[in-house]
Amino acid sequence: MAGPLTGLTVLDLSRVLAGPWATQILGDLGADVIKVERPGGGDDTRGWGPPSVVHDDGEETAAYYLCANRSKRSVALDLGSAEGQRTARRLAARADVVVENFKAGTAAKWGLDYASLAAEHPGLVYCSITGFGQTGPNRDKPGYDFMIQGMAGLMSVTGSPDSGPVRAGVAVADITTGLYATIAILAALRHRDATGQGQHIDMALFDTQLACLANQAQNYLVSGRSPELMGNTHPNIVPYQDFPTLDGRLIVAVGNDAQFARFAALLGRDDWAGDRRFARNADRVANRETLVPLIARAMAGETTGHWRALLDGAGIPNGPVNSIADALGEDQVAARGLRVALPDAAGRLVETLAQPMRFSATPPDYRRAPPRLGADTEAVLKALDADAPGS
């Protein structure tokens, strides 16, 4: 069944992660995504390995590229040349959406900015993704995920006092910017469909990461105190962390006072539910230094499996700290179809992660494995010429 965005054309001029993440979502939902890459090397992430897939001709494609470029066609164009720019403009004239992540001012130099394209294509939805946006004192600075996690405050609350600030293990600033960009594009398409007018969307990694500080930023805005490094504990909920067991570690996430009462009973401490120090969450937060060691001592004498069975039976959220291999091996992954294998041009299956969205009528449409560089140049340009006036 065709995806919900079938019939839309997206010109993807982006590279690395935030832009490609957004366009992969659009492609999985049915849009025809034409990814423009520089000849000879392509998207930077094609070489961000190992690990890499080694093709029959010896060429390698890094796993990093594979994670964000499914459901696209690859066209090799030199956008630094006049001919490449003309071809890109012709492709943009037939697109509903353009996504780019050039440094501020680069697209205008090539005649590929929103103002230039919208003059002839007023319905165009155009999304720019940069580190700091199109305005402000940092607009000309490059922005990579790691530095954005630091500048936007995420690293100040990630890690422990012993470890110091730590970046998240995946590029969360890039990924969340890609998600917000997708939301913005879909909203702009809704506006376009209602009014006939497109618009320019200005997305910045810094803006997105700051917005995603969520309760941590709100804690500061309310209290005037910056949150500090707390390791695997939570600033507003106790107990909400991992605890050592006889054979590993188990995360316990007690979200309300009723859950805590049941949890205390499992530990043989029914009295905690009526203890003024622990009865309410606010009390537990204030007395965490007393309560947490007591919980840790109680849990250390039994296995992870023992506690999981008891906690599951009592409806108390819990889970192990899985490796990625263990996470991908969970029964839930198979049940939800969260791994997708697609044949590449040579017939080799390329396995990627599925979209987490579930539709009752128009599910994601995984049509293409991540493409080889320039694999679709001839077909796309031939179709472009065939559509030209007078052809």
Check if the beta carbon of residue 16 is closer than 8 Å to that of residue 343: no
User: Are residues 63 and 164 located together in one domain of the fold?
Assistant: yes
278-295: per-residue pLDDT in tens?
999 999 999 999 999 999
- pLDDT for res 390: 61
Domain boundary residue, one of 266, 301, 322: 322
Helix pair angle (82-93, 377-387), 10° resolution:
70
User: Are residues 203 and 153 located together in one domain of the fold?
Assistant: yes
- pLDDT for res 386: 87
Average per-residue pLDDT for the chain: 96
Check if the beta carbon of residue 83 is closer than 8 Å to that of residue 111: no
Distance in angstroms (rounded) separating the CA atoms of residues 76 and 83: 12
pLDDT average, residue stretch 175-194: 98
198-240: per-residue pLDDT in tens?
999 999 999 999 999 999 999 999 999 999 999 999 999 999 9
Query: In which band, very low, low, confident or very high, does the pLDDT at 144 lie, cut at 50, 70 and 90?
Result: very high
* CA 100 distance to own-chain centroid: 17
Check if the beta carbon of residue 291 is closer than 8 Å to that of residue 260: no
User: Are residues 138 and 248 located together in one domain of the fold?
Assistant: no
251-265: per-residue pLDDT in tens?
999 999 999 999 999
Domain boundary residue, one of 301, 322, 343: 322
Domain that holds residue 313: 240-322
Tell me which H or E stretch contains 309. Answer: helix 304-313
Q: What percent of the chain has pLDDT over 70?
A: 99
- The CATH number assigned to the domain holding 56 equals 3.40.50.10540
pTM, two decimal places: 0.93
Q: 351 lies in a domain?
A: yes
Q: Which residues of the chain form beta strands (DSSP E)?
A: 9-13, 32-37, 52-54, 60-62, 72-76, 97-100, 125-130, 199-204, 240-244, 249-253, 318-320, 339-343, 349-353
- pLDDT for res 159: 96
- Annotate 263-289 with b (16+ C-beta within 10 A) or e (fewer): bbebeeeeebbeeeebbebebbbeebe
Check if the beta carbon of residue 281 is closer than 8 Å to that of residue 238: yes
Q: What percent of the chain has pLDDT over 90?
A: 96
In the chain, the number of structural domains is: 2
User: Are residues 258 and 353 located together in one domain of the fold?
Assistant: no
Confirm whether 174 is a catalytic residue: yes
- pLDDT for res 391: 54
- Only one residue has tokens 């605890």, namely 243
367-382: per-residue pLDDT in tens?
999 999 999 999 999 9
Whether residue 139 has pLDDT greater than 80 = yes
Domain boundary residue, one of 277, 293, 322: 322
- pLDDT for res 388: 75
Dihedral angle, C-alpha 377, 383, 389, 391, nearest 10 °: 110
User: Are residues 312 and 343 located together in one domain of the fold?
Assistant: no
79-114: per-residue pLDDT in tens?
999 999 999 999 999 999 999 999 999 999 999 999
User: Are residues 254 and 361 located together in one domain of the fold?
Assistant: no
Residues in the chain: 391
Which DSSP symbol is given to 376?
T
111-125: per-residue pLDDT in tens?
999 999 999 999 999
Burial of 41 (0-12, 13-18, 19+ CB in 10 A): exposed
Q: 71 lies in a domain?
A: yes
Query: In which band, very low, low, confident or very high, does the pLDDT at 345 lie, cut at 50, 70 and 90?
Result: confident
Return the structure tokens found at 222.
Answer: 């309310």
In terms of Cα–Cα distance, which of 213, 201, 139 is closest to 173? 213
Whether residue 194 has pLDDT greater than 60 = yes
Distance in angstroms (rounded) separating the CA atoms of residues 114 and 3: 27
Q: 234 lies in a domain?
A: no
User: Are residues 103 and 248 located together in one domain of the fold?
Assistant: no
Other Cβ atoms less than 10 A from the Cβ of 162: the count is 7
- The CATH number assigned to the domain holding 303 equals 3.30.1540.10
Whether residue 350 has pLDDT greater than 90 = yes
In terms of Cα–Cα distance, which of 229, 181, 242, 185 is closest to 17? 181
Q: 14 lies in a domain?
A: yes
- pLDDT for res 2: 84
Q: 247 lies in a domain?
A: yes
Catalytic residue among 28, 32, 174, 202: 174
